[in-house]
Amino acid sequence: MNLSEGPDTLTEFSAQVTLLQLNGSRLLIHRSIILAIALLLVTISWSCSDPAQEMGPRIDSTSECPDPSTGIIIGGLYGNEKNVNPIFQRTLVLMGGGSEDDEASKLFLEATNGGDIVILRASGSLTSYPNYFMSTLSPQIPPNSALTVLTSSPQQASDPAVSCWLNRAEGVWFAGGNQWNYLGKWPAQFQLFLNSLTKKNISVGGTSAGAVSLGEAAFDAENGTIASQVALADPLGNKVSISYPAFYQSELHNTIIESHFSEREREGRLLVFLAKFKQEQNRSTVLGVGLDEGVAIVISEGQFEIFAPMGKHAWIYELSGTVSLTSGSPLNLADIFRIKLSDQSQGTWPIQVQSMEHEELIVIDGSVNINEDQDTLFDIDTCE
């Protein structure tokens, strides 16, 4: 700058410099605002995503299976996308609802010998079970992968994408929910396909409605749920609805499963279901298994084991008496035998109830009682 320039020239020059400084400051401010907005958008994007989608190792869907059609959602895939074919061991795990039993769940996973797990459900989370099986539990042999097939439109369950994923599985888990989605809305073709999977001796498990659906006969809740007292008062009422699923598990021949058993006082209605099952199928003997919440039964190689929290049980019923049901009349039933199994109970499956310590029950005009003519024994912990 020339110091000989007059005052007006210097003032003008100073003003120009000040203007440049202001413009620079504004540019910096504008850049800061843009950066802040970008960060805000990223934050909003993160906050609007499903938190469950951020958990655990995750992979993209494999191209081996086609994309599902409308009404089928496949996701929550954890593990290795490459299919494996290990030598596995057949195991059946049934749970009574509520919290899953970790040890029984590990046995289900370990039976697949590092295989692939598919969770079937008609409602609920895509990620909860894959995260539980792959991250929460620590089985001796972890699964290769776990994935959820959500049949949000159960009538579409025969979709090729569903059968493709299931054909890869060494273990299939039936989640809880409404069993009518499985028993009444899954197409017959899909139920037969599930039956073919069972014949491959893969491991199968289920909880709550998922476990109920695996028996040879099952209360299907087509017309809604029913309380024990209502069922006992009219065992042929329209809500006493029984299905015979094509995909029932061979270990559960002649058997009905009930969940949430003691918590929802379901003994009475189970006896009604057994009576109807016995009469409709003309069976000499039928079995009922009532599982309290948090209780699991693991069946493998002709043996069973019970896993149960303190104070919770598995209840086994054998009905061999004559059944005669009349519409509008309360249930009358005899020759019912019951055992109560606690944690760590073990024995041969199927259970021969009358060869063990048991109680005998009788139903008179819809009222369930212990037959006082028989000795009564409680808390059978171990079966040999």
Local mean pLDDT, 10-residue blocks, the chain (384 residues): 34 36 43 45 36 39 81 96 92 98 98 97 97 95 96 98 97 98 98 95 97 98 98 98 98 98 98 98 97 98 98 98 95 97 97 92 97 54 35
pLDDT value at position 63?
A: 62
Please report whether residue 54 resides in a domain: no
- Specify the residue for token string 């970790």: 102
Per-residue confidence (pLDDT) for residue 15, from 0 to 100: 35
Instruction: Kindly state whether residue 101 falls inside one of the protein's structural domains.
Output: yes
Would you state the structure tokens that stand for residue 175, as one six-digit string? 């989640």
Same-domain check for residues 314 and 185: yes
Q: Is residue 314 part of a domain?
A: yes
In a domain, 58, yes or no: no
The confidence score (pLDDT) of residue 31 equals 52
Same domain, 357 and 251: yes
How buried is 206 (Cβ within 10 angstroms: 0-12 exposed, 13-18 middle, 19+ buried)? buried
- Does residue 113 sit in the same domain as residue 35? no
**CA of 112: how far to CAs of 107, 199, 201, 217, 303, in Å?**
9, 15, 10, 27, 18
Q: Helix (H, G, I), strand (E, B), or coil: what is residue 254?
A: coil
Residue 307's CATH number? 3.40.50.880
Whether residue 187 is found in the same domain as residue 78: yes
Whole-number Å distance between alpha carbons of 176 and 190: 18
Report how far residue 348's alpha carbon sits from residue 351's, in angstroms, rounded to the nearest whole number.
6
Q: Is 17 exposed, middle or buried (0-12, 13-18, 19+ CB in 10 A)?
A: exposed
Question: How many domains would you assign to the chain?
Answer: 2
* Same domain? 142 vs 261: yes
The answer to whether residue 331 is domain-embedded is yes
On whether both 32 and 87 belong to a single domain, the answer is no
CA angle in degrees (0–180, nearest 5) for 253-100-194: 40
**323 and 271 co-located in one domain:** yes
Output the pLDDT for position 305. Answer: 98
Same domain as 133, residue 23: no
Q: Which residues contact 45 (CB under 8 A, 6 or more apart)?
A: none
Examine residue 131 and state whether it is found in any structural domain, yes or no.
yes
**From the centroid of its chain, how far is CA 271?**
25
378 domain residue, yes or no: no
| Phi, psi angle pair for 352, to nearest 5° | -95, 90
DSSP assignments along 114-146, one per residue: S-EEEEEESSS-SSHHHHIIIII---SS--SEE
Identify the H or E element spanning 239: none
Q: Is residue 60 part of a domain?
A: no
Q: Which residue range(s) make up the domain with 325? A: 69-370
Residue type, 352: Q
Write down the pLDDT at residue 355.
87
Instruction: Give CA–CA dist 20/366, Å, rounded.
Output: 95
**Same domain? 260 vs 351:** yes
In a shared domain, residues 163 and 14: no
Q: Are residues 262 and 355 in the same domain?
A: yes
Rounded-to-integer distance, Cα 338 and Cα 176, Å: 26
Q: At what angle do helices 188-198 and 160-167 cross, to 10 degrees?
A: 10
Tell me: do 19 and 100 sit in the same domain: no
CA gap 95, 294 in Å, rounded = 7
**Integer Cα distance of 46 and 88 in angstroms:** 40
User: Whole-angstrom Cα distance, residue 310 to residue 314?
Assistant: 12
